[in-house]
């Protein structure tokens, strides 16, 4: 059953058209992921579907009586609202909904705070859970989610993945979390002006989308080449002189002018602008930057961590992983010397230079323009020892023309993240600290940021819920034990997958015994020997066995069909079957070779 239909939707702000002619439908039981570059209008489209914003053209047609929930990117609560009040605030009959509210408090693990706990005193991740429970109180048939993993810790994301996979309602979610998309969604919609129809719809997970997107962009590039060649031939003919033009129909001359406009539109649509991110290292950086020896941190009777040793050298890549509120930020402050440990010592290089990307981007002034946030005075910024005009510098981050004059509060979340990166890049540093830098960034910008950070010659301390991003960059993961787990000794891992395997093995009964009696504690492998799989390579490895099985089944079908009497007497049909059989056999052989290569690379054997 179709829950909602969107037909020919268009939306523009001022002179900028976000999208036009967008149509799609969502069926019962579907889990749809909405992806696309920053600024394409994904959150706007979600608000139109939710009825919070009107389209310029087109219409949204929900089924009669559709129950719709909408989890905003940044949920809003009143200043003195308690958890139970928030859950009951959107129900038609609050007095009759207490039992259901307490059920959701338990299922979403909010009961630990008590129903009268003020929502504003919760962390961003727990506020997200309260907002989710508030929408679930409506018993939605379709739930819209805008960046649901932002501000959630990794263990909460794992819980949300499982919850949404088992949910009976349909979902439409905007997210840039690639692993979340792969594990949860059944269909991907890509809102991108580079697509031929603006909205590319792909059935399947994120891996299927990546394949379809690559084909879509290649086809669009080929189409532009064909049109450009046709325009060149028509232009040459028109230049031959008046005699040739007189013998030509006026319709063809008009078509040539129309073709010129079409080529210009294709060129504009296919133009791929990427953020240019390059972090500079401070001069004369020593090899040893930070060394912590047997440090512990306590607040009253609460121990955050104990007996921790950390060594950061140039090109160290350390990721810190743990539940929200468990002490990740405190550990970073101890390493940087902002607060002293309760026990142990931290040695830092003399005149250590640090650049810090904070999670909530507090350094940005929301009331100032993009330009003034980068260059409060004058027209030039100092970047890596050179004076660069501020507008040229902003071009690197895709803030062109009038966009530089926009106040920051009018920027999307992804645009604000790009602007904060622009600020951080102006500071040469020996140590980069990035606290949730991936929030709101689209896939293209994530790839550029990942490549830039991998080339940064200094040390990196990373806190992120983007698990592929973490795994691609970190050569060591320092993980806090889960809340409720005995002991405060942090555990070291060589990659994210090792941590997830360990975490999933921590059953409630195992947690009570402590780490030494539950899942084995892994040891980090040598970063110099270990080779990271790229995001696409990991997807390929995860699904290659399934692809081989399908090919082998097709091989068996072809072999059986080729032995049929009616086929053996039909030369053309037999030749066609044998050609396909040869191609399939070759594909199987290539897949097995690729499987061995990726497996060896993943295991660090090559």
CATH number of the structural domain spanning residue 310: 3.40.50.300
End-of-domain residue from the set 184, 206, 221: 221
Q: 55 or 300: whose pLDDT is higher? A: 55
pLDDT digits (tens, 9 = 90+) for 169-197: 999 999 988 889 999 999 999 998 888 78
Min mean pLDDT across 47-56, 251-260, 452-461 is at 251-260
Asked whether residue 360 is assigned to any structural domain, the reply reads: no
45 and 132 inside one domain: no
Q: 529 or 200: whose pLDDT is higher? A: 200
- Tell me which residue has tokens 């002490």: 327
Contact between 527 and 476 (Cβ < 8 Å):
yes
Asked whether residue 21 is assigned to any structural domain, the reply reads: yes
pLDDT at residue 2, rounded to an integer: 92
Structure tokens at 526: 């040598």
- Calculate mean pLDDT across residues 594-603: 74
Q: Cα dihedral sign for 579, 585, 589, 590?
A: positive
Please, which pLDDT band fits residue 447 given cuts at 50, 70 and 90?
confident
464 and 324 inside one domain: yes
Domain carrying residue 209: 1-67+140-221
pLDDT mean across residues, the chain: 82
CA 515/CA 490 separation, integer angstroms: 10
What count of other Cβ atoms lies within 10 Å of the Cβ of residue 65?
6
Residue 446 has pLDDT above 90, yes or no: no
62 and 95 inside one domain: no
Structure tokens at 65: 């009586």
- Calculate mean pLDDT across residues 449-473: 88
Taking CA atoms, 47 is separated from 10, 66, 240, 308, in Å, by 13, 16, 55, 46
Look at residues 45, 46, 44, 49 and name the one whose alpha carbon lies nearest to residue 61. 49
Min mean pLDDT across 239-243, 321-325, 503-507, 537-541 is at 239-243
195 and 126 inside one domain: no
End-of-domain residue from the set 505, 530, 555: 530
524 and 453 inside one domain: yes
CA 381/CA 366 separation, integer angstroms: 20
Residue 402 has pLDDT above 90, yes or no: no
345 and 290 inside one domain: yes
Asked whether residue 358 is assigned to any structural domain, the reply reads: no
Please, which pLDDT band fits residue 231 given cuts at 50, 70 and 90?
low
- Calculate mean pLDDT across residues 382-409: 85
- Calculate mean pLDDT across residues 356-371: 85
Residue 511 has pLDDT above 70, yes or no: no
CATH of the domain at 582: 1.10.287
pLDDT at residue 550, rounded to an integer: 86
Look at residues 367, 445, 370, 444 and name the one whose alpha carbon lies nearest to residue 401. 370
388 and 503 inside one domain: no
95 and 154 inside one domain: no
399 and 449 inside one domain: no
Taking CA atoms, 484 is separated from 110, 500, 508, 513, 515, in Å, by 15, 17, 9, 11, 12
Split into its structural domains, the chain has a count of: 6
Please, which pLDDT band fits residue 131 given cuts at 50, 70 and 90?
very high
Asked whether residue 318 is assigned to any structural domain, the reply reads: yes
- Calculate mean pLDDT across residues 402-407: 86
Asked whether residue 283 is assigned to any structural domain, the reply reads: yes
Contact between 344 and 295 (Cβ < 8 Å):
yes
328 and 445 inside one domain: yes
pLDDT at residue 266, rounded to an integer: 54
Residue 510 has pLDDT above 50, yes or no: no
Residue 239: which residues within 8 A CB-CB, separation 6 or more? none
- Calculate mean pLDDT across residues 206-231: 75
- Residue 395 DSSP label: H
N- to C-terminal Cα distance for the chain?
Answer: 50
- Calculate mean pLDDT across residues 60-76: 92
Asked whether residue 255 is assigned to any structural domain, the reply reads: yes
Sheet holding 68-71, edge to edge: 68-71, 142-146, 170-174, 31-35, 187-191, 199-203
Asked whether residue 52 is assigned to any structural domain, the reply reads: yes
462 and 484 inside one domain: yes
Q: Which of 9-18, 48-57, 250-259 has the highest mean pLDDT?
A: 48-57
93 and 195 inside one domain: no
Asked whether residue 73 is assigned to any structural domain, the reply reads: no
Q: H or E stretch including 174?
A: strand 170-174
Structure tokens at 152: 């959630």
End-of-domain residue from the set 91, 117, 138: 138
């Amino acid at each position: 059953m179709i829950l909602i239909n969107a037909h020919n939707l268009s939306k523009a702000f001022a002179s900028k058209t976000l999208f036009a002619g967008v149509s799609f439908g969502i069926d019962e039981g579907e889990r749809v992921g909405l992806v696309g570059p920053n600024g394409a209008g994904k959150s706007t489209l979600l608000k139109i579907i939710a009825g919070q914003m009107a389209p310029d053209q087109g219409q949204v047609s929900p089924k009669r009586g559709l129950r719709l929930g909408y989890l905003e990117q940044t949920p809003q609560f009143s200043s003195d609202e308690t958890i139970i009040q928030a859950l009951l605030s959107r129900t038609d009959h609050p007095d009759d909904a207490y039992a259901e509210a307490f059920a959701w408090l338990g299922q979403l693990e909010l009961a630990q705070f008590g129903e009268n706990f003020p929502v504003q005193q919760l962390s961003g991740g727990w506020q997200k859970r309260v907002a989710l429970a508030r929408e679930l109180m409506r018993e939605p048939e379709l739930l819209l989610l805008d960046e649901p993993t932002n501000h959630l810790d990794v263990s909460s994301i794992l819980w949300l993945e499982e919850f949404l996979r088992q949910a009976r309602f349909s979902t439409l979610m905007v997210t840039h979390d690639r692993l979340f998309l792969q594990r949860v969604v059944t269909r991907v919609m890509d809102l991108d002006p580079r697509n031929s129809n603006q909205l590319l719809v792909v059935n399947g997970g994120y891996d299927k989308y990546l394949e379809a997107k690559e084909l879509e962009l290649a086809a669009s590039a080929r189409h532009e080449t064909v049109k450009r060649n046709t325009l060149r031939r028509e232009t040459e003919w028109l230049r031959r002189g008046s005699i040739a033009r007189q013998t030509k129909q006026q319709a063809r001359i008009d078509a040539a002018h129309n073709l010129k406009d079409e080529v210009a539109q294709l060129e504009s649509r296919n133009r791929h602008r990427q953020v240019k991110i390059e972090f500079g290292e401070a001069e004369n950086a020593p090899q040893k930057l930070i060394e912590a020896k047997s440090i512990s941190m306590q607040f009253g009777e609460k121990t955050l961590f104990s007996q921790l040793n950390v060594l950061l050298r140039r090109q160290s890549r350390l990721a810190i992983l743990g539940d929200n509120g468990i002490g990740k930020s405190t550990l970073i402050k101890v390493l940087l010397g902002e607060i002293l440990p309760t026990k142990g010592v931290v040695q830092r290089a003399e005149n250590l230079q640090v650049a810090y990307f904070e999670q909530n981007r507090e350094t940005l002034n929301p009331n100032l323009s993009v330009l003034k946030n980068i260059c409060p005075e004058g027209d030039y910024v100092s970047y890596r020892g050179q004076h660069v005009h501020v507008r040229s510098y902003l071009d690197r981050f895709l803030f062109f023309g009038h966009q530089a004059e926009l106040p920051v509060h009018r920027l999307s979340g992804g645009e604000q993240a790009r602007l904060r990166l622009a600020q951080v890049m102006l500071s040469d540093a020996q140590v980069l600290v990035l606290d949730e830098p991936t929030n709101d960034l689209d896939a293209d910008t994530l790839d550029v940021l990942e490549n830039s950070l991998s080339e940064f010659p200094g040390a990196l301390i990373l806190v992120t819920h983007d698990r592929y991003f973490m795994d691609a960059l970190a050569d060591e993961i320092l993980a806090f034990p889960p809340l409720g787990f005995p002991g405060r000794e942090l555990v070291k891992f060589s990659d994210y997958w090792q941590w997830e395997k360990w975490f999933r093995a921590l059953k409630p009964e195992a947690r009570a015994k402590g780490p030494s009696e539950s899942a084995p504690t892994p040891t980090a492998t040598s970063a110099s020997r270990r080779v990271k799989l790229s995001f696409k390579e990991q997807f390929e490895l995860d699904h290659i066995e399934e692809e081989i099985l399908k090919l082998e089944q097709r091989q068996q079908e072809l072999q059986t069909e080729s032995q049929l009497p009616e086929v053996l007497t039909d030369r053309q049909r037999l030749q066609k079957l044998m050609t396909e059989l040869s191609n399939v056999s070759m594909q199987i052989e290539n897949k097995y070779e690729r499987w061995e290569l990726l497996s060896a690379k993943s295991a660090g054997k090559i």
